């Protein structure tokens, strides 16, 4: 019988594809025949936005770290390849990752990996904390915005790092005898999730106490803090606007399980609502979805907590329009904006969606309009007028959450929708079409006319 990760001794060896392998251009499409209800239960995977930062956080520890409930995603593979490129041992067995950063070969993150996934920038804090030096390509912008890292840089400088940005490369180093960062009092101009996480990780091994004011309060920030505390870090206040970290000399092994993905869960709640279905999902943390649940209920969707970590969505009649404004947590999450827009295209009345977090996160509007939606964009507002139905059409995904919006729209549309640009989807959803098929959806991934599997993790 195959040993399971629990009883198998930790044999740390690279088990991820070669870091230099470029993802092949995506010729697959999703074919979706919509306008039919779903039923049954769907299992929610571990949170992508916890997994990526916690994998970087494992660099802080010079012993074995086991991370469980890691989703099989292209982005997780990318982060694994980045750790391998730094000489760190990574071994993946299904949804379980073993990482050992006892020996870090060097401090330079390869451009081709960082340019493909901005979350790679998360390694700068842990590398500075462990080695006192880090050379990370400046992450580029992406479809949804410029995505600057000035708050990360300014916070690290406040902790004593010298940072130069030259020819697209961030050179950071810590001077001084022991090459250790110094605790500092940092105020973030904006409650940036990434900057909060970078600075919290850097502070775990700094000399003295660091306070982060106006910190991000997202559940993934709390998950990272709990992971670091499990390694012996001294962190309090995660999940509030003020986080205090007392530096310690080193961190130790841990075996940690990641929280469920609240955005995947929200996406399935919307899928149930838009198809006027009754489906249940678990595991979920309802408190992580307060704003999403409140808005669904305001539209007339029933959300029933069947058990502490299980939700049931029941949507039968036509839904009422409602206004959405994205905000830092606990406000309505920007990562659910596109999926909600798809739902609002079929509600009764006019809805106004205001995107306040990213400057260019309305690119799904054009594709939803191809399906018959009535949406007008004015700056960072979208005015959505409900229509009686959507029609299947060929559409193109432009970013991760836009691709999810197109999938949920296709589930409700009359006729067939083909969705291109699946590399976006595979970054953030573990086997989405397989999960939807289990709920009765008619959805298939087709490559060169042949139906293929949806195991995105095997695709990078």
Phi, psi of 27 (to 5 degrees): -100, 0
DSSP secondary structure code for residue 407 in this structure: H
Is there binding between residue 357 and ligand EPZ (CB under 6 A)?
yes
**Residue 142 a catalytic site member:** yes
Is there binding between residue 202 and ligand EPZ (CB under 6 A)?
no
- 17 alpha-carbon distance from chain centroid: 21
Count of CA atoms in the C-beta half-sphere (13 A) of 327: 8
Give 124 or 413: the residue with its C-beta nearer to ligand EPZ.
124
Give the E-state strand segments of 125-266 in sequence order.
133-137, 161-166, 169-174, 185-187, 209-213, 234-236, 242-246, 254-257
**One of 45, 49, 95, 226 touching ligand EPZ (CB under 6 A):** 49
Shortest Cβ 311–ligand EPZ spacing (Å): 20
Q: How many residues bind ligand EPZ (CB under 6 A)?
A: 26
Give 149 or 395: the residue with its C-beta nearer to ligand EPZ.
149
- Contact assessment for residue 280 and residue 238, using Cβ atoms and an 8 Å cutoff: no
Is there binding between residue 119 and ligand EPZ (CB under 6 A)?
yes
User: How far apart (Å, rounded) are the C-alpha atoms in residues 67 and 388?
Assistant: 46
| Contact mark string toward ligand EPZ, 300..339, x via CB under 6 A | ----------------------------------xx----
- Contact assessment for residue 339 and residue 267, using Cβ atoms and an 8 Å cutoff: yes
User: How far apart (Å, rounded) are the C-alpha atoms in residues 232 and 249?
Assistant: 10
Shortest Cβ 423–ligand EPZ spacing (Å): 14
Is there binding between residue 277 and ligand EPZ (CB under 6 A)?
no
Please give, one letter per residue, the 3-state secondary structure of 254-268.
EEEECCECHHHHHHH
252 closest CA partner among 97, 60, 381: 60
Shortest Cβ 231–ligand EPZ spacing (Å): 20
**One of 73, 181, 193, 205 touching ligand EPZ (CB under 6 A):** 193
Give 84 or 402: the residue with its C-beta nearer to ligand EPZ.
402
Is there binding between residue 271 and ligand EPZ (CB under 6 A)?
no
Is there binding between residue 140 and ligand EPZ (CB under 6 A)?
no
* Angle subtended by helix axes 400-412 and 337-344, to nearest 10: 20
**One of 145, 286, 330, 440 touching ligand EPZ (CB under 6 A):** 145
Give 334 or 351: the residue with its C-beta nearer to ligand EPZ.
334
Phi, psi of 237 (to 5 degrees): 95, 0
Is there binding between residue 363 and ligand EPZ (CB under 6 A)?
no
Stretch that binds ligand EPZ, among 124-132, 145-153, 297-305, 314-322 (CB under 6 A): 145-153
Edge-first strand order for the sheet with 381-385 is 324-325, 350-354, 381-385, 374-378
Task: Please report, as residue ranges, which positions from 384 to 403 form the binding site for ligand EPZ (by CB under 6 A).
Answer: 400-401
Give 54 or 181: the residue with its C-beta nearer to ligand EPZ.
54
425 closest CA partner among 74, 49, 157, 119: 74
User: How far apart (Å, rounded) are the C-alpha atoms in residues 283 and 286?
Assistant: 9
Give 112 or 150: the residue with its C-beta nearer to ligand EPZ.
150
Stretch that binds ligand EPZ, among 16-24, 46-54, 307-315, 443-451 (CB under 6 A): 46-54
Active-site residue list: 142
- For ligand EPZ, the binding residues (CB under 6 A) are 48-49, 52, 119, 145, 147-152, 190, 192-195, 216, 218, 220, 334-335, 357-358, 400-401, 428
């Amino acid at each position: 019988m195959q040993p399971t990760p629990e009883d198998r001794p930790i044999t740390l060896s690279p088990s991820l594809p070669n870091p230099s392998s470029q993802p092949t251009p995506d010729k697959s499409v999703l074919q979706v025949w919509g306008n039919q209800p779903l039923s049954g239960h769907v299992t929610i995977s571990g949170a992508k936005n916890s997994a990526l930062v916690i994998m970087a956080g494992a660099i802080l520890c010079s012993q074995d770290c086991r991370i469980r409930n890691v989703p099989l995603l292209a982005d997780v593979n990318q982060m694994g390849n980045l750790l391998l490129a730094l000489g760190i041992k990574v071994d993946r067995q299904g949804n379980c990752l073993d990482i050992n950063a006892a020996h870090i070969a060097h401090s330079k993150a390869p451009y081709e990996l960082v340019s493909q996934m901005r979350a790679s920038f998360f390694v700068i804090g842990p590398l500075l904390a462990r080695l006192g030096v880090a050379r990370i390509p400046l992450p580029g912008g992406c479809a949804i915005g410029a995505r600057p890292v000035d708050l990360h840089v300014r916070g690290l400088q406040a902790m004593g790092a010298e940072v130069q940005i030259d020819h697209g490369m961030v050179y950071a180093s810590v001077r001084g005898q022991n090459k250790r960062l110094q605790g500092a009092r940092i105020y973030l101009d904006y409650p940036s999730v990434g900057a909060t996480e970078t600075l919290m990780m850097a502070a775990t091994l700094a000399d003295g106490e660091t306070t982060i004011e106006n910190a991000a309060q997202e559940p993934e920030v709390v998950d990272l803090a709990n992971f670091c505390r499990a390694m012996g870090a001294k962190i309090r206040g995660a999940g509030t606007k003020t986080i205090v970290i007392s530096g310690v000399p080193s961190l130790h092994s841990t075996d940690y399980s990641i929280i469920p993905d609240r955005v995947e869960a929200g996406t399935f709640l919307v899928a149930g609502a838009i198809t006027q279905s009754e489906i249940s999902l678990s595991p979920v943390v309802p408190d992580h979805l307060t704003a999403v649940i409140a808005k669904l209920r305001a539209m007339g969707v029933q959300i029933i907590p069947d058990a502490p970590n299980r939700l049931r969505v029941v949507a039968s009649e036509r839904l009422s329009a409602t206004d959405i404004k994205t905000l830092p947590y606990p406000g309505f999450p920007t990562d659910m904006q596109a999926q909600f827009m798809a739902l609002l295209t079929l509600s009764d009345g006019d809805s106004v969606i205001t995107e306040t977090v990213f400057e260019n996160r309305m690119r799904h509007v054009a594709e939803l309009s191809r399906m018959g939606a009535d949406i007008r964009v004015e700056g960072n507002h979208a005015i959505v007028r409900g229509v009686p139905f959507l029609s299947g059409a060929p559409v193109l995904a432009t970013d991760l959450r836009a691709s999810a919006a197109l999938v949920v729209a296709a589930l409700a549309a009359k006729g067939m929708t083909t969705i291109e640009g699946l590399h976006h989807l595979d970054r953030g959803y573990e086997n989405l079409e397989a999960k939807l098929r289990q709920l009765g959806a008619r959805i298939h991934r087709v490559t060169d006319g042949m139906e293929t599997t949806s195991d995105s993790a095997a695709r990078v």
